[in-house]
Amino acid sequence: MSEVIVVGAGPAGLLLAGDLAEAGIAVTVLERRDGRMSNLSRAFAVHARTLEQLDARGLADRLVSTGTPLRSLRLFEHVEIDLGTLPSRFPYLLVTPQYNVEQLLLERALRAGAEIIHNAEVVGLSQDATGVTVATGVTVATADDTYRAAYVVGADGLHSAVRRLIGQPFPGKSVLKSIMLADVKVAEPPEEVLTANGVGDAFAFIAPFGDGYYRVFAWDRDHVVPDDEPVALEEVRDVTRRALGTDFGMYEARWMSRFHSDERQAPGYRVGRVFLAGDAAHVHSPAGGQGMNTGLQDAANLAWKLASVLHGAPDALLDTYQAERHPVGRSVLRSSGALVRAAVIGSTVGRALRGFAAGRALSVPRIRTKITGQLSGIGYTYPAPDGAHELVGTRARDIPLAGGGRLYEALRERRFVLVGAADVPDRLVKVVAPATAGGPLMLIRPDGYVGWAGADATGLRQALLTLVGDVHHQAAQ
């Protein structure tokens, strides 16, 4: 029997499965699709914090080699967001298709021993005091298989069956309807890597995929039709010309569709032994490229907690998933919603004010740091218990270590990392010394946040018990 079942092999499910398998947990992924990867990617923007998470899994450098780094973003014609000064090993936004991220995560999950079962659509779920049973098939009545595990994670996307089966609502609304999406070739490539603008009733965005195709979003306030209305390339060209002044000579669309953008969030990310992660828990507008990035951070946050509780840590650790990730989801909903509303302002005066206000805000260092921190994901911190050291809950900086190497390389073993000198069971915690002496002892969680910091052995011992699990028991194994 698996210890954890993950429903959905999208980016969130695959990262979660890989982390659990690497932590020695028996994990099964149930995916309704067959095993073929699609090249019709949705996301294409990978932010700095996601790259740091992938670095802590030894995957970042390979992903970076597939894409184009963008060190600054131009918003609303003249407003420049500089990412080049981000305090990160990855001071940029990486433009690369979602399938490159999924491919790396899939290979890693399989390498680590995760079981991935395709053509397995989850249709039923029930839980009791000791575990969760899920049924796969076409309907519960005709379900052909059942699977049982101690915990289940619904990483099954926007229309999550798991969310429905645990009775979680998905309140929110549609923000933009009838957005046209096209992957095209262009005869005259744009000068900038990423170009976006709104003029009058038209908004358009274009960015390269890196495989010869460009992704175009085009929206026309005056032509809002149902999602199943076919898209004509001429319509995409026309809206792009109105918004960006040229259609870049687009031709050969390999894929075109219409979609609407929702803003929704489940109130509860945990119901008993079942959790929601990624789009199953929250969806927002694609502005700011946050959906996949936020889902991957959810997965990184939840995976080590499940592993620790299965290793004997108290169940209350699992409640911190909601406490830490729900507020981040809400913040992303707000910021990507504000961005999309600003992007589609129709009036000339409104657009001028938008540019002015954004320019003024970004000229204030504190606001600029907050905006780039949220956009890149490196600015989020988690709530710390009363009386905790000020570093607890903050993102761990990738410091150099004595004897060579970096903290994020040390995290690749999927264990906690203790920065400093202390006597702890090394099967569970890797002890490293910083290259520069001084500073408190720090226990770094496997998701790269500071779990505990301080100087006293009793505090450390307590942190090990609540975050890592039954240290005595495991050390003896």
Ligand X SMILES: Cc1cc2nc3c(=O)[nH]c(=O)nc-3n(C[C@H](O)[C@H](O)[C@H](O)COP(=O)(O)OP(=O)(O)OC[C@H]3O[C@@H](n4cnc5c(N)ncnc54)[C@H](O)[C@@H]3O)c2cc1C
Minimum separation from the CB atom of position 474 to ligand X (A)? 31
Minimum separation from the CB atom of position 268 to ligand X (A)? 17
Cα–Cα distances in angstroms (integers) from residue 258 to residues 43, 179, 306, in the given order: 15, 5, 38
Minimum separation from the CB atom of position 102 to ligand X (A)? 8
332 is an interface residue for ligand X by CB under 6 A: no
Pairing of strands 115-117, 27-30: parallel
Minimum separation from the CB atom of position 162 to ligand X (A)? 7
Part in contact with ligand X (CB under 6 A); list of ranges 105-113, 153-161, 304-312, 394-402: 153-161
Cα–Cα distances in angstroms (integers) from residue 35 to residues 30, 112, 119, 138, 160, in the given order: 11, 18, 8, 18, 19
Part in contact with ligand X (CB under 6 A); list of ranges 59-67, 151-159, 246-254, 391-399: 151-159
Cβ-based nearer residue to ligand X, 136 or 197: 136
Candidate list 10, 393, 446, 451; residue touching ligand X; CB under 6 A = 10
Minimum separation from the CB atom of position 226 to ligand X (A)? 16
Q: How is residue 477 written in tokens?
A: 């194994």
In angstroms, rounded to a whole number, what is the distance separating the alpha carbons of residues 264 and 114? 30
Query: Do 231 and 258 contact (CB within 8 A), yes or no?
Result: yes
9 is an interface residue for ligand X by CB under 6 A: yes
Minimum separation from the CB atom of position 477 to ligand X (A)? 33
> What type of residue is 2?
S
Part in contact with ligand X (CB under 6 A); list of ranges 37-45, 262-270, 313-321, 402-410: 37-45
By the 10 Å C-beta count (0-12 exposed, 13-18 middle, 19+ buried), 14 is classed as buried
Part in contact with ligand X (CB under 6 A); list of ranges 25-33, 55-63, 75-83, 230-238: 25-33
Site string for ligand X, 169-198 (x = CB under 6 A): ------------x-----------------
Binding residues among 60-99 for ligand X as defined by CB under 6 A: 98
Cβ-based nearer residue to ligand X, 80 or 145: 145
Candidate list 43, 149, 332, 333; residue touching ligand X; CB under 6 A = 43
Cβ-based nearer residue to ligand X, 142 or 477: 142
Minimum separation from the CB atom of position 384 to ligand X (A)? 27
> Which residue from 210, 179, 180, 181 is spatially nearest to 193, judged by alpha carbons?
210
In angstroms, rounded to a whole number, what is the distance separating the alpha carbons of residues 241 and 236? 9
Residue with tokens 């039923």: 124
Residues found in the chain: 477
Cβ neighbours of residue 401 under 8 Å, at least 6 residues apart? 407, 410, 432, 433, 434, 435
In angstroms, rounded to a whole number, what is the distance separating the alpha carbons of residues 410 and 432? 8
Site string for ligand X, 276-295 (x = CB under 6 A): --xx------x--xxxxx-x
122 is an interface residue for ligand X by CB under 6 A: yes
Part in contact with ligand X (CB under 6 A); list of ranges 29-37, 82-90, 378-386, 411-419: 29-37
Cβ-based nearer residue to ligand X, 112 or 429: 112
Candidate list 3, 26, 42, 148; residue touching ligand X; CB under 6 A = 42
Pairing of strands 282-283, 214-220: unpaired
Size of site (CB under 6 A) for ligand X: 33
Within the chain, how many helices (H) and strands (E) appear?
13, 24
Name the DSSP letter for residue 452. E
Q: How is residue 424 written in tokens?
A: 């702890």
Q: How is residue 192 written in tokens?
A: 């900038």
Site string for ligand X, 241-280 (x = CB under 6 A): ------------------x------------------xx-
Minimum separation from the CB atom of position 419 to ligand X (A)? 30
Torsion of CA 295, 358, 345, 214, to 10 degrees: -50
Candidate list 3, 107, 115, 121; residue touching ligand X; CB under 6 A = 121
In angstroms, rounded to a whole number, what is the distance separating the alpha carbons of residues 198 and 182? 17
Provide the angle, in degrees to the nearest 10, between the axes of the packed helices 316-343 and 365-376. Answer: 110
> What type of residue is 117?
I
Q: How is residue 262 written in tokens?
A: 């929702």
Candidate list 31, 55, 247, 263; residue touching ligand X; CB under 6 A = 31
- Binding residues (CB under 6 A) for ligand X: these are 7-13, 30-33, 42-45, 98, 121-122, 155-157, 161, 181, 259, 278-279, 286, 289-293, 295
